[in-house]
């Protein structure tokens, strides 16, 4: 799963840009604000969702540009493209091999995971951020996961609106929506549990090393028995609360530092980053094993706070996985241990220089 050509048009700081990375490690260096993370964000938009920044589409288009933006990439024989038009700045367009497609269809062709400095607080934020992180891990293995998530959310929003309406809701309509929530909610819960079980087992079996081992578990979102019937019984409570209080949208990913038998939220910032990095690395190996192709990894400023020994261990493990890994940093010296095979580029003034 390797991008051989990436082109950007009116994307963030880039009026027009073409990047031709090699396989394996891809290193982008430059000063703060040069636009390194923008390149990673463009790659992250080649999968369903809002990318590694979670930005609205209208914010991505270059200021002073035509009003829309475009990202296009070649992966082997596949051409992927996404972007917007000036007349509809919040409507995302997707093309696969030149044909119009839905954003969720991208998951059939490419898997991408990322780690950014903003994620250092993942274990201290609310459960919704950890659910999104978990769902990205699931999506890399189960392309249909995005469709189940969007259909579940759509049915739940309609149900919440009906329950909040002062007029009595049509019970048959509610029953139909709850049936949809049960179908897609069960698929979400099962896929998450299977991922947590498989990834957790891999993390437990790994030897002690420079990256902390994480224990994983799901917490909350109980769906015992007939979920549709549970929703029906809880209509009065949900109407009073103004939202649905039961279901997979209430799940949380519980992470433990196995070496210290301590919840991740109680660990130091450095330990939390090591836990996240360990999860990402183990998951990339799981994807490569299951699908026969490693996912694309996007690691923003990943080497900044690692000593030379840990940097060397990180680059060796990334290289061994065989996938394409995009990394950013302010100094080229941070990537000395990445080896001669790495593609190294400098980002400066809206340009990518070899």
Domain map (residue ranges) of the chain? 1-111+295-354, 121-294
5, 322 in Cβ contact below 8 A?
Answer: no
The pLDDT, as a whole number, for residue 74 is: 94
The pLDDT, as a whole number, for residue 194 is: 96
Residue written as token pair 């103004």: 242
Average pLDDT over residues 266-272: 87
List of long-range contacts for 118-124, beta carbons under 8 Å, 24+ apart: 118/53, 119/276, 120/269, 120/272, 120/273, 120/276, 122/272, 122/276, 123/255, 123/263, 123/264, 123/265, 123/267, 123/272, 123/275, 124/265
- Angstrom CA distances, 297 to 41, 157, 252, 324, stand at 12, 33, 24, 7
Model confidence at 331, pLDDT cuts 50, 70, 90, reads confident
Cα–Cα distance measured from residue 296 to residue 314, given in angstroms and rounded to the nearest whole number: 15
Q: What is the mean pLDDT of the chain?
A: 90
Residue 354 predicted with pLDDT over 80:
no
What global pTM score does this model have? 0.87
Q: Measured on CA atoms in the order 103, 108, 110, 116, is the torsion positive or negative?
A: positive
The pLDDT, as a whole number, for residue 292 is: 87
With CA atoms as reference, report the closest residue to 48 among 114, 143, 141, 186: 143
Q: pLDDT tens for residues 69-95? A: 999 999 988 999 999 999 999 999 999
The pLDDT, as a whole number, for residue 63 is: 87
The pLDDT, as a whole number, for residue 33 is: 86
Cα–Cα distance measured from residue 231 to residue 48, given in angstroms and rounded to the nearest whole number: 28
The pLDDT, as a whole number, for residue 60 is: 93
Fold match, 1-111+295-354 / 121-294: no
Q: Which residues of 85-123 are buried (b: 16+ CB within 10 A; e: fewer)?
A: eeeebeeebbebeeeebebbbbbebbbbbbbbeebeebb
The pLDDT, as a whole number, for residue 351 is: 82
Residue 289 predicted with pLDDT over 80:
yes
Q: Which residues of 325-349 are buried (b: 16+ CB within 10 A; e: fewer)?
A: bbbbbeeeebbebbeeebbbbbbee
Q: What is the CA radius of gyration of the chain?
A: 21
The pLDDT, as a whole number, for residue 311 is: 84
Model confidence at 273, pLDDT cuts 50, 70, 90, reads confident
Q: Does domain 121-294 have CATH number 1.20.1050.90?
A: yes
Cα–Cα distance measured from residue 264 to residue 344, given in angstroms and rounded to the nearest whole number: 34
Q: pLDDT tens for residues 95-144? A: 999 999 998 889 889 889 999 988 888 999 889 999 999 999 999 999 89
Helix or strand run (H / E) with residue 115 = strand 112-115
Residue 303 predicted with pLDDT over 90:
no
Average pLDDT over residues 31-58: 91
The pLDDT, as a whole number, for residue 118 is: 87
Bridge partners for 88 per DSSP: 85
The pLDDT, as a whole number, for residue 211 is: 77
CATH number of 1-111+295-354: 3.40.50.300
The pLDDT, as a whole number, for residue 160 is: 94
Q: pLDDT tens for residues 149-197? A: 999 999 999 999 999 887 877 889 999 999 999 999 999 999 999 999 9
């Amino acid at each position: 799963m390797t991008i051989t050509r990436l082109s950007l048009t009116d994307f963030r700081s880039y009026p027009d840009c073409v990047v031709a990375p090699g396989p394996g490690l891809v290193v982008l260096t430059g000063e703060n604000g040069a636009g390194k993370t923008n390149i990673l964000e463009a790659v992250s938009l080649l999968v369903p969702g809002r990318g590694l920044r979670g930005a609205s589409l209208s914010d991505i288009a270059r200021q002073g540009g035509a009003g829309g933006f475009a990202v296009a990439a070649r992966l082997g024989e596949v051409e992927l493209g996404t972007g917007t038009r000036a007349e509809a700045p919040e409507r995302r367009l997707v093309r696969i091999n030149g044909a119009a497609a839905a954003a969720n269809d991208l998951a059939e062709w490419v898997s991408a995971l990322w780690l950014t400095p903003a994620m250092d607080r993942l274990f201290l934020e609310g459960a919704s951020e950890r659910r999104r992180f978990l769902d990205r891990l699931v999506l890399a293995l189960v392309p249909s996961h995005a469709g189940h998530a969007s259909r579940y959310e759509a049915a739940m929003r309609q149900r919440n609106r009906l329950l909040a309406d002062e007029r009595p809701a049509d019970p048959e309509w509610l029953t139909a929506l709850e049936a949809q929530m049960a179908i897609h909610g069960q698929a979400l819960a099962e896929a998450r549990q299977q991922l947590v079980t498989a990834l957790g087992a891999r993390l437990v079996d790994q030897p002690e090393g420079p990256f902390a081992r994480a224990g994983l578990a799901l917490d909350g979102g109980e769906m015992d028995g007939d979920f549709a019937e549970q929703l029906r019984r809880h209509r009065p409570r949900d109407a009073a609360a103004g939202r649905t209080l039961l279901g997979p949208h209430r799940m949380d990913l519980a992470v433990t530092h196995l070496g210290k038998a301590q919840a991740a939220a109680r660990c130091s910032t450095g330990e939390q980053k090591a836990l996240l990095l360990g999860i990402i690395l183990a998951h990339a190996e799981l994807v490569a094993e299951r699908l026969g192709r490693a996912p694309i990894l996007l690691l923003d400023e990943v080497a900044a706070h690692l000593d030379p020994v840990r940097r060397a261990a990180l680059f060796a493990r990334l290289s061994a996985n065989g996938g394409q890994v995009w990394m950013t940093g302010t100094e080229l010296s941070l990537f000395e241990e990445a080896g001669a095979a790495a593609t190294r580029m400098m980002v400066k003034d809206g340009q990518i220089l070899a």
